[in-house]
Amino acid sequence: MTDVATYDGRIAIIGDCSGRDAHQTVDCTDMALAPGFIDVHSHSDELWLVDGRALGKICQGVTTEIGGNCGTSVAPLYGEARVRKARDARTYRLDVDWTTFDEFFGAVERSGVACNVASLVGLGTTRACISGASDRRLEREELDAQTQLVREAVEHGALGVSSGLIYEPSRYADLAELSACAAVAREAGAARYVSHVRDEGDGLIEAIDEALAIGRAADVAVRCSHHKAAGRRNWGKVHRTLATIDRARSRGADVAIDAYPYVASWTELATILPDAIRRGGEAATLERLRDPAIAASTAMLLQFARDPATGGDSWHDILITDTGSDRNAAFAGYRLDEVAAHWRLSPARAAIRLLVEEELRVDCAFFSMSEDDVAAVLTADFCCIGSDASARAFEGPTARGVPHPRTYGCFPRVFGRFVRGRQLFSTEEAVRRMTSLPAQLFGIANRGEISDGAWADLVVFDPRRIVDRATYERPFVPPEGLRDCFVNGTAVLRNGDYTGARPGRVLRGGQ
């Protein structure tokens, strides 16, 4: 039996502590003691300010979150980026009173947060700062201004750049723009390009190739986010992309992925709209959808795209999780075909009506993946776990709608469903994918392992029992089998109860 002693936030002794005095002892007999889990793919961002308790993550054993994913970050906020963030924040009655990462991180430190936090800088956000919603290539001066924002963000502690190439306006960035930004991030000391790639469905293979090409052009590490093949006709493609990444790695490229253990993704309903409708920003999109002729032709295109005869997924595969206003809030938890039946409209027409009435603010879970693909991705030894969810509580302002269950169950589910259930890999391998691997892939220093002098981020769980309990129907349920959680040596969860402590630190540059 080995003892682990912590002092002043760090691990001080690993070995025999018998006969020594301790302020507090924790008996871990028959339990697993692991480094705290690192959630590399969080969208908490400003929610750290809304509810710093981060209960939904703490209950899973997450002690560090990396935000700023998918091209959107909480800073820098100029121009259109500021307008958008202010609108998002209004849902939570939060004042956006910061502009730079330095100011935002300072605000988080003042308000306090239960877990450690770090962030990438989103290239959709920096683009919106410079050229708003525009869908064109940037002028030379605009690109220079954008890279200057990237440089400043890295100097303030961002761990790298992220892109979200299905979102407005991140998707209008081409290989040259993305590479230029990633190269500047490298010069400033954060050589990481993290991407929600351009296409996770029909164009997945090409999209992964593009991410790898940006890594080569900018000479940076590449992290492909929430790796998956979406849509029935694309199932199985992950075997090809995993082989591509494997080959790149064997040639010396620093490429890795993250994933969550669910078959449903979770994003904006607006992502189903055709490119021509989404171009030019939200106001332009809404104006088009309000035009009856354009709405009718868009509905036809959508209906065709989801035609089972062409391998399309069914409308029943779309579950509404949240709406921007209260007007249609009662539809949260319902499938799109059910909303359509309620309104006596075709599903495509119902989707458009919902988008117009909610001014595009509709979030949905899309049941678009095969579990065999999810298993293949999780098994790759360069895959770490990322929830793709923000830190929400079980009550209060962040407990809106019917969030994707990964918000409250992602990490325990890996153990319950894929370690014990499908027996894909050992408990130790699962822990590695949540701790030392992500620390190494994202440059988080002195965390992710139990070693002399490392920060005392620790979790105690029962490997025979740990399992998620949150479901699509009832997400607000904590997992089972995870007993204690410590952040920087301070207990945030003891015997399954929250202590209310907020010992988290902002990890600028991973430190």
Looking at the chain, how many residues does it have?
Answer: 511
406 near Zn ion, rule: CB under 5 A: no
Nearer CB in complex with Zn ion: 196/237? 196
365 near Zn ion, rule: CB under 5 A: no
Stated as kind and residue range, the H or E segment containing 224 is strand 221-224
Window contacting Zn ion (CB under 5 A); options: 66-74, 78-86, 122-130, 251-259: 66-74
Nearer CB in complex with Zn ion: 70/362? 70
> Which tokens in the block code for residue 89?
């924040």
Window contacting Zn ion (CB under 5 A); options: 70-78, 206-214, 327-335, 369-377: 70-78
Window contacting Zn ion (CB under 5 A); options: 65-73, 208-216, 407-415, 461-469: 65-73
User: Per-residue x/- mask for Zn ion, residues 301 to 340, rule CB under 5 A?
Assistant: ----------------------------------------
70 near Zn ion, rule: CB under 5 A: yes
196 near Zn ion, rule: CB under 5 A: yes
d(CA 297, CA 1): 69
Q: How far is the CB of 196 from Zn ion (least distance, A)?
A: 3
CB neighbour class for 117 (10 Å; exposed up to 12, middle 13-18, buried from 19): buried
Q: Which amino acid is at 261?
A: P
Q: How far is the CB of 161 from Zn ion (least distance, A)?
A: 14
Window contacting Zn ion (CB under 5 A); options: 92-100, 196-204, 358-366, 463-471: 196-204
- Count of residues of this chain found to bind Zn ion when the rule CB under 5 A is applied: 2
Q: What is the number of other CB atoms lying within 10 angstroms of the CB of residue 279?
A: 18
Q: How far is the CB of 238 from Zn ion (least distance, A)?
A: 16
Q: Kindly write down the DSSP assignment for every residue of 242-299, as one continuous string.
A: HHHHHHHHHTT--EEEEE-S-SEEEEEGGGGS-HHHHTT-HHHHHHHHTSHHHHHHHH
Nearer CB in complex with Zn ion: 196/306? 196
Q: How far is the CB of 70 from Zn ion (least distance, A)?
A: 3
Q: Is the peptide bond before 169 cis (omega within 30 degrees of 0)?
A: yes
Nearer CB in complex with Zn ion: 122/448? 122
Contacts 24+ apart (CB under 8 A), 86-93: 88/46, 89/46, 91/324, 91/400, 92/46, 92/47, 92/50, 92/397, 92/398, 93/397
- Pure H helices in 333-405: 336-343, 347-357, 371-379
Nearer CB in complex with Zn ion: 404/469? 404
197 near Zn ion, rule: CB under 5 A: no
Nearer CB in complex with Zn ion: 53/228? 228
Nearer CB in complex with Zn ion: 115/259? 259
Stated as kind and residue range, the H or E segment containing 223 is strand 221-224
List interacting residues with Zn ion (CB under 5 A): 70, 196
